[in-house]
Amino acid sequence: MQSNKQFYIGIDGGGTKTLGLLCNQNGVILAKSTAGSTNLKSRAEHEVRSAIHHVITELTSGLKDGKLAGIFVSTAGGDREEDQKRWKRWLRERLPSFEGILKVKNDAYGALASGTFSMEGTVLIAGTGSIAYSIDANGSRRVGGWGYLFGDEGSGYDIGRKALRTVAMMHDGRMMLDEAFCSNILSFLQVNGAPEMITAIYEDSYARMKIASVAENVIELAERQNQTALKLVQSAYESLSEFVRAIEIRGRQLVICGGLMQSPFFRNGFLEELKTRGVSDVYYPNVSPAVGACICALLSCGVPIADERKANLMSSHHVMDG
């Protein structure tokens, strides 16, 4: 007898890491898998392919009874046709017999659904990169998301890059020296002086992520009221606020998420910045964008997110994280 159990996979592909979740038709999360970044614009193609294969293999290894009905990938660059084709090809390499619904979308979809439990509304993501996205039945609009070379204002990468530049300028005598700021950043990089930053960054195998990771130290320094760090954080607030100003907030409520927003200090400061600009209806999700991707997988397959299913997603997510 054929089983009528159905399963769904949601994948959140971020600039720093990729998280995949497997849930059943009741919204209970059964398995998770993590890998490195799957951003095709900042990592080698073979590394992204390997990460995708790893996640899919782990999530489906225990599936023996039932059908994989849907996969929803929410990833940086997921709205570009060439990236969608590569994701789908690599997924099917591990799932040659898969006949369910497969969708690859921008990482805003999972982030938005993690707050609204739907695929409509407005979201601002501030993590390794940054983007604002509005989605409804009439279509979508995006602001930002131009990548680390000429975009990503207010992101972790942007803060980290500015912090490194600040240390360099202070070393050169082009800015007034802030010894506490410089020593903290250099200590984090595990170097003895500013000139060593060149090797530490330029010879790193994933320099973009290393630069973005500096942002965590900057935020911690700002929380301790270091004036140099506070200026960098304030600059990030202003850049992200410009995204909000430029985007049309659909559904009235703005969802904010991403690695930077996980810091209560950064998040609360940004909320205060938004209030000064007249934006007060803001929501910070208590489930991850990967759960949002599961929600999108369910919805894409016609499975409604009723109260019981929503409760299952939330409770099983917290158990899985614990």
Report CA 272 to chain centroid distance, whole Å: 22
What is the model's pLDDT at position 135? 85
Whether the CB-CB separation of 247 and 279 falls below 8 Å is answered with no
CA distance 24 to 21: 10
Encode pLDDT of 128-163 as tens digits. 889 999 988 788 888 998 888 998 999 999 999 999
Q: Is 319 exposed, middle or buried (0-12, 13-18, 19+ CB in 10 A)?
A: exposed
Q: Which pLDDT value is given to residue 2?
A: 45
Domains in the chain, start-ordered, CATH in brackets?
Answer: 6-121+286-321 (3.30.420.40), 156-283 (3.30.420.40)
Beta strand residue intervals within the chain, DSSP E: 6-13, 17-24, 29-36, 67-75, 101-106, 121-126, 130-136, 139-144, 254-257, 282-283
Q: Is the pLDDT of residue 38 over 60?
A: yes
Indicate the burial class of 2 (C-beta count within 10 angstroms; 0-12, 13-18, 19 or more): exposed
Phi, psi of 135 (to 5 degrees): -135, 135
- The letter for the amino acid at 321 is D
3-state secondary structure of 125: strand
User: Mean pLDDT for the chain?
Assistant: 90
- Percentage of the chain modeled with pLDDT above 70: 96
Sign (positive or negative) of CA dihedral 200, 206, 211, 216 = negative
What DSSP string runs through 129-155?
SEEEEEEETTEEEEEE---TTT--TTS
Residue 214 to residue 219: CA distance in whole angstroms: 9
At residue 224, the pLDDT reads 97
What's the pTM? 0.82
Report the b/e string of 220-240 with b at 16+ CB within 10 A. ebbbeebebbbebbeebbebb
